[in-house]
Amino acid sequence: MTLRNRITLLTLALLVSSLLVLGAVVYATLRSYLFSGIRPELEAALSQIESAIDDPNVLSRLEALSRISPNLYAQLVRAFGDLQSLGPTGREFFTVRILTSPNLGSSNFSVSLRDLERVWRGELIYTRASIQRDNLPSLNVQVIAKRLKADPFGQGELQDFILVVGRPLDSVSLVLSRWLQVYSAVAVVVLLLAALLAQRLVRRTLEPLEWVARKAEAVSQKPEALPEPQGQDEVAALIRSLNRMMARLESTWQAQTQFVADASHELRTPITAILGHVSFLLRRTPLTEQQRESLEVVVRESERMKKLVTDLLELSKSGNWKLHMGAVHVPTLLEQIQEEYARSFEGRIELEAPENLWVQGDPERLHQVFANLVSNAIKARATRVRLVARDVSAGVVIRVEDNGEGIPAEHLPRLFERFYRVDKARDRERGGTGLGLAIVKTIVEAHGGRVWVESTVGKGTTFSVSLTRATAPQPQLR
């Protein structure tokens, strides 16, 4: 996942968390506010009924529950039994409805036995209950209940009653439900807008860094300065720091390149002299068998040293190569490689390439690339080498396939590094310096191409080179 996506997702996660917390707080506050207005209303109705039920006029007592607000429900019940008989089942404690508000009809409040026990003990309860209605869904209500002594029928004797007053919660539930719907819709819109805005802001914020990454990626192996943008922001400071670092790398690069070039040039003369004198001794001087073996070892090691110096000199000049680019006929190039190694190779070198296939490149350097790859295949004890060229959509791919020893998978990622050898002792015996594939990679990349390797131990190795396709040159009129 890219840094841009991570920042965007983190921003959205923080926004979602904030919206959830804000919604929960607002919902709880709104709910508390709505419920806070219900209790005073119920207490006022309860006091109104208590005052009316104590009225000397019997008719006023009987109409006490009818005079409250029409959106309230009230019920006066007579309780039978005693507190000791109120058990888990409540079978020995029951209530009988005495008076009800007109809007309650034949329905009854459904109050839990535990709450009735509290009322019977003399507590004023404020709780949630329901009204069971015939052929209709139950109605949730907030109730207030109180035990009182009254004589509603004027019999001259005070009796114990329970007065219950309730207010429906459907309006409160509707407000809360509508609020949740509106808030959810607004939150979704806010999240969508925030996602678009966050993605745009993050993209604009990271664009300079991506620009730096593209410029740095475009820099070749030789360090080069990045273009410095105008301004004094963090990105400009980063680029200036990178340019100072690359200036130091450039100085080190030049010193290293100059040293390798000077050392290689200076070493070639004594090595050439050593080879000349040893060759003279082998040809013109009578030698014992032991002396001849020793001089042949000197020749082999000198030849290896000469090749190493030549390769080092090639690599030191790789940044200053002048490629003579042109259209190169692939079948002709591969036929030259085939003829060059067919004389000394005991196996077969097979060629497979379309006749009208051309690539853009320097013919001498490309010859050096495929000669090196074929030489490596022969050193790997291959008995069959195939040079295969294919015209693909991305360009031209030329493969060098062999049935040699193969290369273990753990060595493949580092195969093109300088001085890297799979088996140092064996490569030294076969004249390898560890620089051939590094030179191949450098030449191919100088042509704007790519080289990669596939190998299976015991089955063989395939090197693939991707190059730019070219059109056949027009014949010259004489």
Is the CATH number of domain 234-318 1.10.287.130?
A: yes
Task: Count Cα atoms within 13 angstroms, Cβ side, for 214.
Answer: 7
Task: Give the pLDDT confidence score for residue 220 in this predicted structure.
Answer: 56
Q: What class is the 38-168 domain?
A: alpha beta
Length of the chain: 478
Put residue 109 in one of left, alpha, beta given phi > 0 → left and psi -120 to 50 → alpha. beta
- CA dist 231 and 96 (Å) reads 87
Whole-Å CA distances, 408 to 366, 412, 455: 27, 7, 7
Q: Could you tell me the residue ranges of all domains in the chain?
A: 3-36+176-205, 38-168, 234-318, 323-467
On whether the CB atoms of residues 215 and 226 are closer than 8 A, the answer is yes
Comparing CA positions, the residue from 309, 26, 11 lying closest to residue 179 is 26
391, 392, 398, 404 alpha-carbon torsion, rounded to 10°: -120
Query: Comparing C-alpha atoms, which of 327, 364, 367, 333 is closest to residue 351?
Result: 333
Measured CA to CA, the distance from residue 468 to residue 466 in angstroms comes to 7
The span from the CA of 370 to the CA of 368, in Å, is 6
**CA distance linking residue 29 with residue 330, whole number of Å:** 81
Cβ neighbors of 34 (< 8 A, separation 6 or more) are 172, 175, 176
Per-10-residue mean pLDDT for the chain, 478 residues long? Answer: 80 91 93 88 87 74 78 82 51 67 83 82 88 83 88 76 88 91 93 89 79 68 64 75 79 73 73 82 84 82 73 63 84 91 86 92 90 90 92 91 91 85 59 75 90 92 94 68
Under 8 Å between Cβ of 468 and 396: yes
Instruction: Give the Cβ contact number of residue 65 at 10 Å.
Output: 26
Estimate the crossing angle of helix 436-446 against helix 363-379, to 10 degrees.
150
* Residue 79 near residue 160, CB atoms below 8 Å: yes
* Number of separate helices (H) and strands (E) present in the chain: 11, 13
Residue whose structure tokens are 């004797």: 157
Conformation bin of residue 406: beta by default, left when phi > 0, alpha when psi is -120 to 50 = left
CB atoms within 10 A of CB 250: 15
What is the CA 28 to chain-centroid distance, rounded?
37
Burial annotation 261-280 (CB, 10 A radius, 16+ → b, else e): beebeebeeebeebbeebee
DSSP per-residue string spanning 106-152: T-EEE--HHHHHHHHTT--EEEEEEEE-TTS--EEEEEEEEEEEE-T
- The per-residue pLDDT for 90 is 45
Smallest CA-to-CA distance from 451 within 440, 460, 459 is with 440
Instruction: Copy the structure tokens of residue 453.
Output: 């390797």
Q: Which amino acid is at 184?
A: S
Q: What was the pLDDT predicted at 82? A: 57
pTM of full prediction above 0.95 = no
Output the CA torsion sign for 83, 85, 90, 95.
negative
- Number of neighbouring beta carbons within 10 Å of residue 24: 10
Give residue 247's pLDDT.
80
Question: For position 187, what pLDDT does the model report?
Answer: 92
**All residues at 6 or more sequence positions from 288 whose CB lies less than 8 Å from its CB, including other chains:** none
Q: What is the 3-state secondary structure (H, E, C) of 381-444?
A: CCCEEEEEEEEECCEEEEEEEECCCCCCHHHHHHCCCCCCCCCHHHHHHCCCCCCHHHHHHHHH
H or E element, residue 221: none
* Tokens describing residue 146: 């109180």
Let me know the angle formed at the C-alpha of 311 by 308 and 312, rounded to the nearest 5 degrees. Answer: 85
Give me the CATH code for the 323-467 domain, please: 3.30.565.10
Q: What is the pLDDT of residue 57?
A: 74
Residues 118 and 132: their CA atoms lie apart, in Å, by 22
